[in-house]
Amino acid sequence: MTFSVHGLAVARGIAIGRAVLIASSRVDVAHYFVEASQVEAEIGRVRAARNAVVDELHRLQHEMPRDAPPELTALLDVHLMLLQDEMLTSGVKHWVTDRLYNAEWALTTQLEVIARQFDEMEDEYLRERKADLEQVVERILRYMKGAASPVAAPPPARRRQQDLLLDDTVDVPLVLVAHDLSPADMLQFKKSVFAGFVTDVGGKTSHTAIVARSMDIPAVVGARAASQLVRQDDWVIIDGDAGVMIVDPSPIILAEYGFKQRQAELERERLQRLRHTPAVTLDGRKIELLANIEMPEDAPAALKAGAVGVGLFRSEFLFMGRQGDLPGEEEQYQAYKRAVDGMQGLPVTIRTVDVGADKPLDRSVRDGTHLNPALGLRAIRWSLADPSMFLTQLRAILRAAAHGQVHLLIPMLAHASEIRQTLSLVDFARAELDNRGQAYGPVKLGAMIEIPAAALSLKVFLKYFDFLSIGTNDLIQYTLAIDRTDESVAHLYDPLHPAVLKLVADTIAACQAQGKGVSVCGEMAGDVAFTRLLLGLGLRSFSMHPAQILAVKQEVLRSDTAKLATWAQHVLEAEDPSKTLLGT
Ligand code: PEP
Ligand code: MG
């Protein structure tokens, strides 16, 4: 039966495929396809690991002291029984043989199928066996991790949808459905096999959504109970423009969305023609379109989209998902250098680490450790709390600046004392490199305007910094007191609130008055609905995901900034700017 689940639209486009349910705790398991010739070996890997676990449990049974509690013996029996369970073994075989999933992926997929059945059981004792099954699978996975894999390395990129056979067994596009994914988890899927994503939780500018958008595949977040309502392998459609997932679509709906999908593909191809067109408005203003990146490996996509530099390299993605082991100076230097080299002489703006809030270092420290993580030890506050870690990053960035144009950007500043402390640490990092006799390059220094307090005290920012970059995602969150990750208040997250627009407009005007550079690098910059308004407010530099650059360029080419300036003042003064915006 067809039904739909509604959430928030975060990444454009239509995906049609089968649902892959992944528990949040299982995302670190490798997901890739194997070749048909590898199926037997892959099943053999699971079998060998399972046999090893069986042997281990038998050994534990034999070594059990006589006075051991009877529950323990019973538990081992249950685990042994689950290990031999036909549903587990035949299910794993099915996913490997029919879908060509790698062994670990097949195992966790079958775990989800059986776990769902346990959840539906009336009998409480049986329902609780789900935890035992999870432990058993965990043991098998651990064995597989320890054993050398006979399988070749996973293919580097996801299979493109158009390369796939629309056969009902293998090679069908896959859509990932999960309760929650951390931004670091999302990054793991960047080169994955998935054609779309749906999560139960999350807001439009949560970092999970931002990474999904950077992958340029359809995504819906905040879809509440999606992961409960969908079953493993259901056919689904993700409409990333409308924020809807349609489950078990009828043939008519499938045909309609297939058509929409082709239309979107044609539109993308059409936009490609603008790649080499300079971003100049009708009245001759040159507009700078920059890229936001998460990893150095994103640089080629930025160049391909025609970006004239990187306006925001979110360096924290180098720090996340490493079980607390932070990247050292050399590793960071190499990563920044790769980004600089990758941009082939164009400027790269490296933002110092912004962990905290919805970007935890590790999943283990994710929930409940701080009462108000977005208001807590985040971004520059985190860096200043650990000067040695911060100096390591500063040295690495300064050294990378010897290889090309680098701008250093500091997130979440609010106080003059923080600014002074930060700048003296930058000087200190330079002095350390001088002492070592190590080469480094000049950097332009920039601050992000993300906290209303910063936007209201621009004088001190303009005194100390060469340029400002407006982080509208946080500026909106903190101005309106809306948690950007919380879908229950997503309807109040309003980029067009008069207070937000005033802070943005004042920041642009103050920079212009002093001849300092200013850009917007929040999601507003990549949303074509706001391009003309930002141009009208005087913005000339936009930084966004590479995938959005051509659509924004198209808007720029159709705009006349002189006319837009008068209109933008009306929007600024309106009681309800969104109506004025739509009315034009
Ligand atoms: C912002 O806040 O707008 C921004 C660009 O930074 P981030 O989204 O990484 O918080
Ligand atoms: Mg921010």
The atom number, within ligand 1, closest to the CA of 314 reads 9
**373 CB less than 6 Å from ligand 1?**
no
Instruction: Give me 103's structure tokens.
Output: 């062994």
- Distance (Å) from CA 411 to ligand 1 centroid: 8
Task: Report the run of H or E that residue 237 belongs to, with start and end.
Answer: strand 235-239
Per-residue pLDDT of the chain (584 residues; tens, 9 = 90+): 899 999 999 888 999 999 999 876 677 788 888 999 999 999 999 999 999 999 998 888 888 777 777 777 888 888 899 888 888 999 999 999 998 999 999 999 999 889 888 888 878 777 778 888 888 898 899 888 876 544 433 443 334 333 333 344 456 789 999 998 888 777 777 767 789 999 999 888 888 888 888 888 899 999 989 999 999 999 999 999 999 999 999 999 999 999 999 999 999 999 999 999 999 999 999 999 999 999 999 999 999 999 999 999 999 999 987 877 899 999 999 999 999 999 999 999 999 999 887 777 775 544 445 678 899 999 999 999 999 999 999 999 999 999 999 999 999 999 999 999 999 999 999 999 999 999 999 999 999 999 999 999 999 999 999 999 999 999 999 999 999 988 899 999 999 999 999 999 999 999 999 999 999 999 999 999 999 999 999 999 999 999 999 999 999 999 999 999 999 999 999 999 988 887 65
pLDDT at 584: 55
Q: Which ligand is nearest to the CA of 203?
A: 1
Distance 411 CA to ligand 2 centre (A): 7
Of all protein residues, whose CA lies closest to atom 4 belonging to ligand 1? 471
Tokens of 26: 């299982």
Query: Does the CB atom of residue 353 touch ligand 1 within 6 A?
Result: no
Dist. CA 514 → ligand 2 center (Å): 24
Instruction: Report how far ligand 2's centroid is from the alpha carbon of 474 (Å).
Output: 5
Ligand 2 centroid to 357 CA: how many Å?
10
Domain boundaries, the chain: 3-23+152-253, 36-145, 277-582
Residue 174 near residue 120, CB atoms below 8 Å? no
**pLDDT score of 160:** 35
The answer to whether 498 and 478 have CB atoms below 8 angstroms apart is: no
* Cβ(292) – ligand 1 distance below 6 Å: no
Considering only CA atoms, which of 561, 448, 568, 447 is closest in space to residue 502?
568
User: What's the start-to-end Cα distance of the chain, in Å?
Assistant: 42
Q: What is the pTM of this model?
A: 0.85
211 alpha carbon, closest ligand: 1
CA distance 509 to 503: 10
For residue 522 and ligand 1, the question of a CB distance below 6 A is answered with: yes
pLDDT given at position 357: 75
Sort residue 447 into left (φ over 0), alpha (ψ -120 to 50) or beta: beta
Mutate to test the pocket of ligand 1, among 351, 448, 542 (most ligand atoms within 8 A of CB): 448
What are the backbone dihedrals phi and psi of residue 280, each rounded to the nearest 5 degrees, phi first? -125, 135
- For ligand 1, whether the C-beta of 471 sits within 6 Å is yes
pLDDT score for 140: 92
For atom 10 of ligand 1, which residue has the closest CA?
474
Sheet holding 3-6, edge to edge: 3-6, 244-247, 235-239, 14-21, 174-178, 194-199, 219-221, 8-11
Atom nearest to 524 CA in ligand 1: 3
Q: Which long-range contacts (CB under 8 A, 24 or more apart) does 413-416 make?
A: 413/380, 413/447, 413/448, 413/451, 413/454, 413/461, 414/451, 414/453, 414/454, 415/453, 416/457, 416/460
How far apart (Å, rounded) are the C-alpha atoms in residues 233 and 175?
Answer: 9
DSSP-derived letter for residue 124 is: H
Provide φ and ψ at 68, rounded to 5°: -65, 145
Task: Provide the pLDDT for residue 358.
Answer: 78
Q: Whose CA is nearest to atom 6 of ligand 1?
A: 471
Q: Is 358 in the pocket of ligand 1 (CB under 6 A)?
A: no
Specify the residue for token string 């490997």: 96
Cβ neighbours for 17, distance < 8 A, ≥ 6 positions apart: 172, 173, 174, 175, 195, 196, 235, 236
Q: Is 36-145 in CATH node 3.90.650.10? A: no
- Regarding the beta carbon of 314 and ligand 1, being less than 6 Å apart is answered yes
Catalytic residues: 207, 521
Is 474's C-beta closer than 6 angstroms to any atom of ligand 1?
yes
**CATH class for the region spanning 3-23+152-253:** alpha beta
Ligand lying closest to the C-alpha of residue 316 = 1
Cα 121 to ligand 2 centroid, rounded to whole Å: 44
| All residues at 6 or more sequence positions from 368 whose CB lies less than 8 Å from its CB, including other chains | none
Show the beta-strand stretches assigned E in 72-186. 174-178
Task: Name every residue whose Cβ is closer than 8 Å to that of residue 75 and which is 6 or more positions away in sequence.
Answer: 132
Q: Is 500 helix (H, G, I), strand (E, B) or coil?
A: helix
Residue having the nearest C-alpha atom to atom 1 of ligand 1: 471
Residues 6 or more apart in contact with residue 307 via CB below 8 angstroms: 289, 290, 291, 346, 546, 549
Give residue 525's pLDDT.
98
Which of 3.20.20.60, 3.30.70.890, 3.30.160.20, 3.20.20.450 would CATH assign to domain 277-582?
A: 3.20.20.60
Q: Take atom 8 of ligand 1 and give the residue whose Cα is closest.
A: 473
C-alpha angle 324-389-312 in degrees, rounded to nearest 5: 90
Q: Is 316 in the pocket of ligand 1 (CB under 6 A)?
A: no
Number of the ligand closest to the Cα of 206: 1
CA distance 96 to 42: 7
Q: Which ligand 1 atom sits nearest the alpha carbon of residue 521?
A: 5
The closest residue, in CA terms, to atom 9 on ligand 1 is 314
Q: Which of the ligands is closest to the CA of residue 358?
A: 1
3-state helix, strand, coil in the chain (%, to 5): 55, 15, 35
Please check whether the two domains, 36-145 and 277-582, share a CATH topology: no
Contact 454, 478 (CB under 8 A): no
pLDDT at 207: 82
| CB distance 472 to ligand 1 below 6 Å | yes
* Dist. CA 470 → ligand 2 center (Å): 9
Atom of ligand 1 nearest to the CA of 357: 10
